[in-house]
Amino acid sequence: MVSMKDISLKCGVSIATVSKALNDHSDIGAETKIKIQRVAREMGYLPNSSARALKTNRTHNLGVLFVDAARSGLKHDYFANVLDSFKVTAEENGYDITFINCNKEHQTMTYLEHGRYRGVDGVVIACVDFEDPQVIELVRSEIPVVTIDHSFEMKTSVVSDNVEGMRELTDYVCDMGHTRIAYIHGDDTSVTRNRLASFNHTLEVRGIAPDYDLQKAGKYRDTKESYKYTNELLELKDPPTCILYSDDYSLIGGLNAIKEKGLSVPEDISVAGYDGLGIAMVLKPAVTSFKQDTEKLGSVAAQKLITSIERPKSSIVERILIEGKLIKGETVKKIK
């Protein structure tokens, strides 16, 4: 590997001069600077990121932490979409990304230790158990952190607006004439709590008394659970006319239960999902869903993280809400 030393020898200048020339310092003569830059290019010089990081204490590397309880990891398409967008924005700003350890079994370091060991300039946290002491340790540390879909007081967060999203979706379903609306929601997280509260609040505002028998706690992205609860709902004496699911994946499980009963969507029963991602979006009939803006979530998270790294003084702790978009689809029927 060609180093600054090689360039300095070829140019007959000191290593310090090479460093300054390549970093465009003002105290190097124009001619020397140009010559050094040319020689560096000709010799195929590349900075050594380890050496630079050692001295400057900056790696231009961002850590990504996600530990999905279901071990779905990258296969989790909501997260994959957010991460993909995060990555693009990070790269546009000269940062690379590294995963902070996720396989808990073989873990030898805490997340914070791992981040410090790798010297990441900042960490984005998503899709984790936000009550995990290791996560809290990381959030409390001096390392710049941005969390996605969960807010802590001490760090900036970028959050999909689940309250507004659920309101829009519920309002839409109500507008279509439904009053007995079931909701098979995910397990207990702040996302779930927000959506559920918004769901019930929206119903109340419309003068519909929430029927808690129609609300089932499933798991996110679990077709078996949604299949089971859909069956339970369909077997009620007074079944719902519409079922909302925690996500589009879970909705598929519900569709299977509905089909098995010989019912069809949306003629006999209406359904709606959440996320608006991937394969579910190309199914026919088109699925009604609330599309979260994963693109924006990821890129805003990256921007905020980079700002808090590069301008720590001027960056303040914020909670940024990202709006989504209702996808009306064809699975909610107008009734009455």
13 is a contact residue toward DNA (CB under 7 A):
yes
Judged by CB under 8 A, the number of residues near a copy of itself is: 52
Q: Does 75 bind a copy of itself (CB under 8 A)?
A: yes
CA dihedral 235, 236, 241, 243 (to 10 degrees): -70
Nearer residue to DNA within complex by CB, 22 or 136:
22
Let me know: does 328 contact 281? Beta carbons within 8 Å: no
* Residue 46 found at the interface with DNA (CB under 7 A): yes
Does 30 contact DNA by CB under 7 A? yes
Site for DNA contains 69 (CB under 7 A): no
* Interaction between residue 205 and a copy of itself (CB under 8 A): no
Among 9, 16, 88, 236, binds a copy of itself (CB under 8 A): 88
Q: What is the phi/psi pair of residue 184, to 5°?
A: -95, 95
Q: Does 29 bind DNA (CB under 7 A)?
A: yes
Structure tokens, 242: 């519409």
Please tell me whether residue 16 binds a copy of itself under the rule CB under 8 A: no
At residue 81, what is the residue type? N
The first and second tokens of residue 282, run together, are 């190309």
Measured CA to CA, the distance from residue 311 to residue 99 in angstroms comes to: 24
Burial of residue 246, with CB atoms counted within 10 A of its CB: 0-12 exposed, 13-18 middle, 19 or more buried: buried
Rounded to the nearest angstrom, the gap between the alpha carbon of residue 167 and the centroid of all alpha carbons in its chain is 21
Question: Are the C-beta atoms of residues 253 and 279 closer than 8 Å to each other?
Answer: no
The region, left, alpha or beta by phi > 0 then psi within -120 to 50, assigned to residue 314 is alpha
Q: How far is the CB of 207 from a copy of itself (least distance, A)?
A: 37
Nearer to a copy of itself, 110 or 315 (CB): 110
- What are the residues whose beta carbons fall under 8 Å from the beta carbon of 113, sequence distance 6 or more? none
Q: What mask of x and - would describe binding to DNA in positions 107 to 146, judged by CB under 7 A?
A: ----------------------------------------
Amino acid identity for residue 146 in this structure: V
312 forms part of the interface with DNA (CB under 7 A) = no
Two tokens, residue 260: 């098995």
Residue ranges that bind a copy of itself, judged by CB under 8 A:
1, 46-51, 53-54, 59, 61, 73-75, 77, 80-81, 83-84, 87-88, 91-92, 96-99, 101-103, 106, 109, 113, 116-119, 223, 248-249, 252-253, 255-256, 259-260, 278-280, 282-284
Residue ranges that bind DNA, judged by CB under 7 A:
1, 3-5, 12-17, 19-20, 22-23, 27-33, 45-48, 51-52, 54-56
